[in-house]
Every structure is written in structure tokens, then in C-alpha cells.
Amino acid sequence: MTALGATLRNRPGARLGLAFAVVCALGVVAAVESTEGSTAVGSANPPAQADLLRRADALDGASRAERADPTAAQPDPTAAQPDPTATGSAAAVDPDVAEEPATPTEEPAPIIEPVAGMSQVQMDNATMIVDAGLTLQMPREAMVIAVATAMQESTLLNRASEVLPESKNFPHQGTGWDHDSVGLFQQRTSTGWGAVADLMDPTYSATQFYLALQRVPGWEQLRLAEAAQAVQVSAYPEHYAKHESAADAVVTEILAAR
């Protein structure tokens, strides 16, 4: 036995130190061989432990947020995608798409101020008579005859009849007692002028008057009273004539506003 062996046998602490040194030396050799072997193509030696730790730390740092919220890195396929053509918070307007024009609102017809001693209600009724004549393209003389006739028959008020209670179910401006005569022209449903509901409509009753006037042969050459009487068949035919001047002034005023 050598002196070194005797010494190691007699000194346990020395044996322990020597063993530690041998283990360290073997570790260094293994590390060198592992590093050299890793550079060879097809080497089966695994990477060094320090290298594995560094890679593990890098992967751990990049995926830590994903591990905390597994859905954070996955885009929602149902989420609305931003419009690349939008500017700010408002979408860009396509210049090729024409904007539809706004529908114009029709302004109400202006109120025509009364003339010739008429009230506003009477003037409004006369306006509906004139407008009905304009729709039928009747001449001015026919409008004067129609307005004068309504002045005589109903004082230019849309009257119902106490004899015909049904007529009071419709808008009216007073009542009368002359048989079943109703409306501005006091036309009678019993003689074929139309249904009560229609005769209580000023536009309808005026239209019926004009149509009847057109059927009178040569009405344009007749005096106002004669033309009105040919349509109305009144017991007092000459009473229409007294309204000619007022009717002419009313029609003039209405036509000037049209």
C-alpha cells in the first residue's frame, strides 16, 4: 500500500475531498464531450442543462399570459372587424352611391281672405267650389254661376237637413228644413243627385253642379239666373241674379291666389 493510500485510510476527511474532486473532474469531461457531440450531425447527445433552462425560461416568459388566459391569443371569429374604408368613428361614404333626395313636403294652400262681405267659412266653401271648377277645366263664367247659386241656396254654408237626420252625421254648418235638400247646393238624394254622404262633401256637390251645367245647351250664352235655374229648377229663378256681383268678386279673389 502506498503512502497516499495509508493516509486516505487513516484520514476520512481526506477521502471525502478526493472523492469530490474526482466527481467534478468527471463532470467537466462529460460536459466537454456533450458540447462537442452536439455539433455533430445526427448526434444523440442532449443539449446541456443550462441551455435547456435558458430555452425553458424564454418559452415560459412568452406564454405566461396565454397560460393565465387561454382565450387571450385566440381571435373571436364572430367579432366585428374594423372597416378599412372608415374614417374616424364614421364609415366613409361611397362616392358611387347617390344619396336619395328628400321627399318634399307639400305646403298647405294659403287661406284666402274673405271679400264681398263673406265670412272665412263662406270664403273657404267658395274656394272649394272654384277649385272643383279648375279641376274640370271649367271657364270662369261657370265658377261665378256656381258660387252665386250656392249663395242663394245655402248662403254658402254646408247645411244638413232636419228632414234627413242621416245628413247630420257628416260635417255640416247648420241645418235646413227644405225636404231632403243638403249641402252647399241643397241637392236632393231623392231626385238622383247622389248619396247623402257624397252630397255633404263640398267638392263632390260642386262637381255635380258643373256636370249638370255642361249638359245645358248653350249655357254660356244664358244669363246667370237662367243658367242657374236650368240646373236647380227653383221656384224663385230670378233670386240667383242678385248674387252675381258678389260671386264675381269672390271668384276674382280666389283665382288671383291660385
Position 194, amino acid: G
Least-confidence region, from 95-104, 207-216, 248-257: 95-104
Residue ranges of domains in the chain: 1-28, 120-257
- d(C-alpha 45, C-alpha 48), whole Å: 9
CB 126 within 8 A of CB 250: yes
Structure letter (DSSP) for residue 93: P
C-beta atoms surrounding 196 within 10 Å: 22
Position 180, amino acid: D
Q: Can you give the pTM of this predicted structure?
A: 0.60
> Hey, what's the cell of 161?
237637413
Structure letter (DSSP) for residue 86: -
The predicted-structure confidence for 14-42, as pLDDT tens digits, reads as follows 444 434 443 344 443 333 344 444 333 33
User: Which has more pLDDT, 39 or 188?
Assistant: 188
